[in-house]
Structure 1
Amino acid sequence: MSNQMPLIKNLLLLILAILYSGAKAQNLFPVKLENCKTDRFCLDCGDVKASYNEADFAELQEKLNKSLNLTGITGVIKFQVLIDSSGRGCVLSHTDQSNNQITQQIIKQLNNFKKWTPAVTANKKEGRTSINLTFTIKENLVFSKKVYQISGNIERVNIDAFKKSFDRPKNPEIYNKNYVYKNENLKNYKIAVWKSDNSNLPDNMNDHITIDRNGVLWLTAGDDLVTFDGKTFHIVGPSNENIGSYRSVETDNNNIKWVYGGKSIYSYDDKTWTKHDPKITGIDGTFKIINNPETGEVFFCTDKGLIIYKDGIWFNLDQNKVKEMPSNRVTFAKRDAKNRIWIGTFSGSVMIDGLGKATNFNNTETALKGKCITSMDEDEKGNLYFSLYEFDRKTPGQINNDEGIAIRYLDGSIKQFTTSNSGMPFNHANKVLYDRKEKVLWISTDRAGLVRYDLKDGWENYHNDNSTIPTSYISTMTFDKDGNLYLATRQGLVKIERR
């Protein structure tokens, strides 16, 4: 770090990406620390915000000023601190990419600080809250003598302001510089877009979507849960419940809609909303809800294992039952046609076959080693398609990581496709969907838009620079009964229909 520490002026887009992205995208600032427990936390939330005891924090600053040599140093550094319900704090990320000793000392003092006060919502302490602290070093006049001092304070996040600033399309980021995208099939599709400026969609930020057995779309729009009948959007949800925001939605075989919101699991049978008691389900939250059409099971991916629901019975699959599971923190799970369960955890992936034998892929030399499965689909022949997340990244701060997609063929071999060996434009995929009508694979990304792969050698890439798709950020996608592809994006709802 030079005498002039980096000054971070605009964090709005980065903060918003954290709020609404999936797991693992939780560090606000460039330098991520690995010592914090980061499953599920809210950003500067609460009726009463997380804070600190003023007198004790002043003492912390005094310790820093006495122990650090600040002469000639000026600048600003920001820290993201997680505060749990017991008042313990942990520095998750910061802005000083030089990792100067001054920064290390501040981190040490913040982690050892015992006088944090947790956030409170509805008279209940929040489990974990992220707050931002700004430390400034500048020259002050003390008793007619110029001295360099450090001072810190909380920098509150204006949620409404950065939401508004984010409501614009992101330019595509194409990391594959070798593949030439001809996009010859783009002309064969009719693309419709619904946004808040051309419909009654309440918010352009759509992160979760499902289509029920009646053909009605259910999606999240900002903090709201809405339905769409092809013409009009309707805000729905449990009445007399302070949900706050919705994080997942899925439809099961009985046309029951499952929703996670407000730290509770709800279901809706087109007549009544039911709030499910955590004492019965074993969970009060989920990363993702996934229906299994062949078995009628509903999977809830949680930090307590894989919770399976079927016919009114709840069952927990965790490390106590399957020792090969790399972690209880499950981010994705689904059964295939051969009754195998494929599970992605935050520490690796595992497959449990129909006889109960489990394979931890961290112990193999396949493309799934060191990877978390984040979505899966299957074709009519039994080939499996995965999107991947590299959980133990080799290069901190690198964006285009060793991820991409993988295909498991019928002979058991697994091949990974990335920007280095295929037409993948960017290596982080949010979802894969196999199109049984066209026999192609659709891949959604959060930086490079939509990918169409013909499963031979043809890769096409559609985004807001070459099509009417309004953004390069596609959260997830689904098919309707007619094979039309719907995209949940950060710039509205998109329908792709073959002409």
Structure 2
Amino acid sequence: MSSAQNLFLQKIEICDTASFCVDCGSPKATCDPFTLDQISDRINRKYILKDASGSLTFQVLVEPSGFSCVLSYDDATNSPLTADLIRYLNGCIWKPAMVNGQAVSSSVNVVFKFAHGAISGRMARLDLRQMEPAGAPVIYNTATTYTNPSLKNYDFKVWTKYNSPLPDNISQTSAMDKLDVLWYATSKGLTRFDGKTFNPVNEYNSPFNAETAVQDIAVDKDNDKWVYLDNRIYKYRDGAGWQIFDFKKFLAPGVTHILNSRNGELLFTTKSGLVVVRKEKVVLLNKKNLPELPSGNIIYAFDDSQKRIWIGTTKGTIMIDKNARVTTFNTSETPLKNLCITGSAEDENGNIYFSLADEDNKTAGDNAKDGMAVLRPDGSWTLYNDKNSGMPANHITNMLYDKFEHVLWMGTDQSGLVRFDLKDGWENYHNNNSPAPGHKIYQLMQDSRGTIYATTANGLLRIAKKY
């Protein structure tokens, strides 16, 4: 048993919350599915829901007697429909949770989804392992003291599957479209977030169901969304719906990343080459037609403002210039020698930032060969790592150049977020020194207003500049 823990931002202070557990017991608290069907039917008969979308989630306290009381919910508008749902839920009779044979107070979550002009309700069990604290970050740089002077300039907000309709706390691939809608992809489903409302992508509005495991997603220059799962490519165009592409001949080894180039090409990295798609024409670059590739196992690809394409493989990196000349970095004395580029960013001055990985030595700790390389317009290189700079760790998961503040953001898998002002100003934000929910960052995105979103192992983080 624990003291009261409200999961959602909208709270109701009328329940007896002296002591209860969260979705605990064996068996856990439950209600007959017919009860939720009855509630849904009452709402459907009272409201016209033909244009409604998204979902509402309620945390319900179930007492040992079986009576219920809504503790918190996620509807900031406090609509009349939500008020009715709270009233109906408070009138239900439940089977309470049992601990050591005794009925106890516990809270459960109930989700009501809108689809095809109707509402339907179901219980949503919690994965209590994901509610555990993120743990302490690992900072390998012991020479730098992070004072983080810019931290006070940001508002942090966190959504998890317990205080919002997120399908899962962990998202290793997501994308921001040109209308500032975040497509949040997980192994347990895909949802869209417009900054206020989460709208699930499910069997009612897509070719896949609400719990489909999405492997990668990207947005192209035309604002079309490309989704990879089950060795198929799906394209979604606003107003036109979904289209399925079958590239099995090219994608048989499996896609690792979908990347969007400046000239409109889509780049699919695979274990046997780079698949380039332009206007639905498909070209495969592999060791047969591009022998300079150190390996056919492609990890990352990027085209810069000078129309050069950079390809990182498990055995090193190459660059192809606009005249089709190839530079192999395994024989050059640069920071890229024998290393794979895994991410990139370019600023308005033409400086290119590459995250590096030693694919031959992918240890769980801190590899001294990993880090960040900067290529300047004059052709000079600079290498940054946690021994010669303010980087807290060498392994970078994602990079974002913030064109609004002219700083570079990096995500790490052990040390949280890194903010670099491109000169000598290093800041490091994680769960021990900021409102960030954890220290494992997967992806960074920015909308047209400058707001940054970070997907983490502990939920979705939004970082907004204070004005």
TM-score of the pair, normalised by structure 2: 0.69
In structure 1, the partner of 2:442 is: 475
Aligned with residue 318 of structure 1, among 281, 286, 308: 286
Deviation at 1:282, TM superposition (A): 4.7
Aligned counterpart in structure 2 of residue 462 of structure 1, from 429, 442, 445 = 429
Question: In structure 2, what is the Cα distance between the partners aligned to 1:486 and 1:386?
Answer: 20
CA distance, structure 1, for counterparts of residue 167 and residue 419 of structure 2? 30
Tell me the amino acid that sits aligned with residue 219 of structure 2: T
Q: Which residue of 1 aligns with 2:256?
A: 287
What is residue 450 of structure 1 aligned with on the other side? 417
After superposition, the Cα gap between the structure-2 partners of 1:263 and 1:481, relative to the gap in structure 1 and judged at 3 Å, is: same
Unaligned 5+ segments in structure 2 are 1-124
Aligned length: 338
Residue type matched to 1:234 in 2?
N
Query: Residues 351-399 of structure 1: CA distance to partner in whole angstroms, max 9, x if unpaired?
Result: 1111111111111111001211011111111110011111223x96643
- % identical equivalent positions: 40
Contact (CA 8 Å) 1:201, 1:221: kept in 2 or not? no
Instruction: Name the counterpart of 2:275.
Output: 307
- Matched residue, 1:239: 207
In structure 1, the residue matched to 2:310 is 342
Task: Report the AA paired with residue 267 of structure 2.
Answer: F
Tell me, yes or no, if the aligned pair for 1:278 and 1:284 is still in contact at 8 Å: no
Counterpart of 1:336 in structure 2: which amino acid?
A: D
User: What are the equivalent positions in structure 2 for 1:374-385 lying under 5 Å apart?
Assistant: 374-385=342-353
For structure 1, the residue ranges without an aligned partner over 5 or more in a row are 1-159
Amino acid at match of 1:205: I
- Cα offset, 1:427, TM superposition: 0.6
For residues 247 and 256 of structure 2, what CA distance do their matches in structure 1 show? 15
CA shift at 1:244, angstroms?
4.4
Question: Could you say which residue in structure 1 is the equivalent of 2:114?
Answer: none
Residue 187 of structure 1 aligns to a residue in which SS? helix
- What is the correspondence of 1:47-86 to structure 2 with a 5 Å cutoff? none
Which residue of structure 1 lines up, in the alignment, with residue 245 of structure 2?
276
SS at match of 2:312: strand
Partner residue of 1:211 out of 176, 196, 209: 176
Amino acid of the residue matched to residue 438 of structure 2? Answer: T
* 1:484 paired to 2:443: no
Question: In the alignment, is the contact (CA less than 8 A) between 1:386 and 1:406 conserved in 2?
Answer: yes
**Counterparts of 1:344 and 1:465, CA distance in 2:** 34
How far apart are residue 170 of structure 1 and its match? Answer: 3.5
For 1:309 and 1:243, the matched residues in 2 are separated by 28
Match of 1:407 in 2: 374
Give the distance between the partners of 1:163 and 1:315, measured in 2 at CA.
46
Please tell me whether the aligned partners of residues 280 and 314 of structure 1 are also in contact (alpha carbons under 8 angstroms). Answer: no
- What RMSD, in angstroms, separates the aligned Cα atoms of the two structures? 2.2
Are 1:192 and 2:161 counterparts?
Answer: no
TM normalised by structure 1 equals 0.64
How far the C-alpha of 1:314 sits from its partner, in A, is 1.0
Match of 1:426 among 377, 382, 393: 393
8 Å CA contact retained: 1:243, 1:261: no
State whether residues 413 and 440 of structure 2, in contact with CA within 8 Å, keep that contact through their aligned partners in structure 1: yes
- 5 Å-filtered alignment, 1:27-106, equals none
Residue 440 of structure 1 corresponds to: 407
Indicate conservation of the 8 Å contact 1:442/1:452, yes or no: yes
Equivalent of residue 363 in structure 1, options 324, 328, 331: 331
SS at match of 1:457: coil
My pick for the range that moved more, 428-437 or 214-223, is 214-223
Per the TM alignment, residue 163 of structure 1 is displaced from its structure 2 partner at its CA by: 8.6
